[in-house]
Amino acid sequence: MNDVISAAATPVARLIDEFHKLPGIGPKSAQRLAYHILRTSAEEAHALAQAIVDVKEQITFCSSCQNLTEVDPCRICRSDKRDTTVICVVEEPLDILAIERTRSYKGLYHVLHGVISPIDGVGPEDLKVRELIGRLSDGAVREVIMATNPNVEGDATAMYLDRLIAPSGVRVTRLARGLAMGADLEYADEVTLTRALEGRQQV
Amino acid sequence: MPARIPRVYRTEAIVLRQRKLGEADRIVTLYSPQLGKIEAVAKGVRRQTSRKAGHLEPLTWSTLLLAHGQNLDIVTQSETVESFMPLREDLQRLARGIYAAELVDRFSEPRSENYPVFRLLAETLRRLATPADSADLAVRLFELHLLAFVGYRPQLDRCVVCSGPLTPVTNAFGPALGGVVCPACRAAQPGLWPLSVNALKILRLLQRGDWTTAAGLRLSAELLSEIELLLRGYIRYVLEATPRSVVFVDALRRDTPAGRPKHLELEPATPALAARGGA
Task: Judge whether B131 lies within some domain.
Answer: yes
**Predicted local confidence at residue A3, as pLDDT:** 47
A101 contact residues in B (CB cutoff 8 A): none
Shortest Cα–Cα distance, A8 to chain B (Å): 29
- Is B115 found in the same domain as B186? yes
**Predicted local confidence at residue B255, as pLDDT:** 62
A130 contact residues in B (CB cutoff 8 A): 263-264
| A17 vs B200: CA distance, rounded Å | 57
Task: Judge whether B279 lies within some domain.
Answer: no
B91, B103, B276, best to mutate vs chain A, most A CBs in 10 Å: B91
Q: Name which of B55, B248, B260 is nearest A189 (Cβ-Cβ).
A: B55
The answer to whether residues B166 and B180 touch, using CB atoms and an 8 Å cutoff, is yes
The answer to whether residues A190 and B88 touch, using CB atoms and an 8 Å cutoff, is no
| A45 vs A51: CA distance, rounded Å | 10
Query: Of B61, B83, B105, which residue is a domain's last?
Result: B83
CB within 8 Å of B112: residues ≥ 6 apart:
B36, B37
**Predicted local confidence at residue B225, as pLDDT:** 94
pLDDT tens for each residue of B80-129: 999 999 999 999 999 999 999 999 999 999 999 999 999 999 999 999 99
Local confidence band at B279 (pLDDT 50, 70, 90 cut-offs): very low
Query: Of B60, B83, B106, which residue is a domain's last?
Result: B83
For chain A, which residues make up each domain, given as ranges?
2-58, 68-197
- The domain made up of A68-197 is a member of CATH 3.40.1360.10: yes
Sign of CA dihedral A12, A15, A21, A27: negative
**Predicted local confidence at residue B220, as pLDDT:** 94
**Predicted local confidence at residue B17, as pLDDT:** 97
Report chain B's mean pLDDT, rounded to a whole number.
90
Contact with chain A for residue B57, Cβ under 8 A: yes
Task: Judge whether B206 lies within some domain.
Answer: yes
Instruction: State percent of chain B over pLDDT 70.
Output: 90
Q: Given a cut of 60, is residue B278 above it in pLDDT?
A: no
CB within 8 Å of A94: residues ≥ 6 apart:
none
Q: What is the tally of structural domains in chain B?
A: 2
DSSP for B175-223 reads TTTTEEE-HHHHTT-SS-EEE-HHHHHHHHHHHH--HHHHHT----HHH
Shortest Cα–Cα distance, A82 to chain B (Å): 22
Of all residues in chain B, the one with the smallest CA distance to A159 is B91
B64 contact residues in A (CB cutoff 8 A): none
CATH topology of domain A2-58: Helicase, Ruva Protein; domain 3 (1.10.8)
- Is B157 found in the same domain as B27? no
A166 contact residues in B (CB cutoff 8 A): 277
pLDDT tens for each residue of A164-186: 999 999 999 999 888 877 778 88
Of all residues in chain A, the one with the smallest CA distance to B279 is A167
Which domain, by its residues, includes B65? 8-83
Q: Given a cut of 50, is residue B174 above it in pLDDT?
A: yes
B102 contact residues in A (CB cutoff 8 A): 118-119
pLDDT tens for each residue of B23-33: 899 999 999 99
Task: Judge whether B2 lies within some domain.
Answer: no
- Is B232 found in the same domain as B157? yes
Local confidence band at B275 (pLDDT 50, 70, 90 cut-offs): very low
**Predicted local confidence at residue B216, as pLDDT:** 87
Of all residues in chain B, the one with the smallest CA distance to A182 is B49
Question: Closest Cα to residue B101, out of A163, A117, A150?
Answer: A117
CA angle (A175, A117, B68) in 5-degree steps: 100
The answer to whether residues B78 and B43 touch, using CB atoms and an 8 Å cutoff, is no
Output the domain CATH number for residue B52.
2.40.50.140
**Predicted local confidence at residue B256, as pLDDT:** 56
For B178, other C-beta atoms within 10 Å of its C-beta total 16
Poorest-pLDDT segment among A154-163, A173-182, B36-45, B156-165: A173-182
What average pLDDT does this structure show over B180-208?
94
| A105 vs A107: CA distance, rounded Å | 6
Shortest Cα–Cα distance, B81 to chain A (Å): 9
- Is B174 found in the same domain as B64? no
Query: Of B56, B83, B110, which residue is a domain's last?
Result: B83
Are A119 and B49 within 8 A, CB to CB? no
The values of phi and psi at residue A186, to 5°, are -70, -20
Shortest Cα–Cα distance, B19 to chain A (Å): 9
- Is B106 found in the same domain as B73? no
Contact with chain A for residue B58, Cβ under 8 A: yes
**Predicted local confidence at residue A8, as pLDDT:** 57
Shortest Cα–Cα distance, A40 to chain B (Å): 27
For B277, other C-beta atoms within 10 Å of its C-beta total 18
Shortest Cα–Cα distance, A94 to chain B (Å): 13
Decide which of B263 and B123 is more confident. B123
pLDDT tens for each residue of A128-147: 999 999 999 988 999 999 99
Contact with chain A for residue B96, Cβ under 8 A: no
Provide block-wise average pLDDT over 10 residues at a time, chain A (203 residues): 55 93 91 94 96 92 94 93 96 95 96 97 96 93 95 96 93 87 80 86 83
- Is B133 found in the same domain as B50? no
pTM: 0.87
| CB pairs A-B closer than 8 Å | 112
